[in-house]
A = this chain, B = another copy of it.
Amino acid sequence: MIIDGKKEAAFLREELKKEISLIKDKTKKVPGLSVILIGDFAPSQIYVRNKEKNSKEVGINSQVIRYSKNVTETEILKKIKELNDNKDVSGILVQLPLPKQVNKEKIINAISPLKDVDGFHPTNVGNLASGYKSIVPCTPLGCLFLIKKIEKNLSGKHAVVLGRSNLNGKPMAQLLLKENCTVTITHSKTKNLKEECQKADILVAAVGIANLVKDD
């Protein structure tokens, strides 16, 4: 079965539009997303452009703050502090990857957990892992959303996650565990990867290699 992801996304945006409209009525304020974009890495440019476009469509204020790839870590940290303190900014997103001189861990830790829309801050990661309320990374959350379009009740299913990145594989595993799946996390060091995958009721490929998963 093939899910039409674009159709589902459009449907979701319609739902969000209504939800945001209610928030605006209630709070008399417009939610605002601030994106920090460093350098000119082409995929990042595309991601950020889509975030801007979709924010606009659902009625969120969107602001992109651009820096050259030579920006200092201090400058980014200063900007994050400013955004943390700015009441008009509801969400902050620093587009990854970062240039070498900017430490990813430091940057992620500097974002207020309450504004960390990517869900990468340790507080959000920890809350997700502990089963508490948290902001969840968008890719695994979207993936779970699509899986549940096909099968609502995942309890007891054997889910195999390919990849253990902090951005995708690990939060994906946490979400599937929360759905009461038996979860196997596989990665580059896994032996008998094919065999592990064949045991899966649900197989999630969360690695950046196209066509890694084949028919068999």
**A residues bordering B, Cβ < 8 Å?**
105, 120-127, 129-132, 155-156, 158, 164, 166, 170, 173-174, 177, 180-187, 189-191, 196
Contact = CB atoms under 8 A, between A and B. Distances in A.
21 contacts: A105-B132, A122-B122, A122-B124, A122-B126, A122-B127, A122-B132, A125-B126, A125-B127, A126-B126, A129-B174, A130-B166, A130-B170, A131-B166, A164-B177, A170-B177, A180-B189, A182-B187, A182-B189, A182-B190, A182-B191, A183-B184
Contacts of A156: 189-191
A137 to B, nearest CB: 11
A131 B177 CA distance: 19
Assembly stoichiometry (copies):
2
Contacts of A130: 120, 122, 125, 166, 170
Nearest to A169: B177
Contacts of A127: 122, 125-126
A205 to B, nearest CB: 15
Most buried by B among A130, A166, A181: A130
Q: Is the interface of A mostly helix, strand, loop or mixed?
A: mixed
A85 to B, nearest CB: 21
Nearest to A154: B189
A184 B187 contact: no
A156 to B, nearest CB: 5
A182 B184 contact: yes
A139 to B, nearest CB: 16
A173 B177 CA distance: 12
B129 A170 contact: yes
A135 to B, nearest CB: 12
Most buried by B among A122, A130, A189, A191: A122
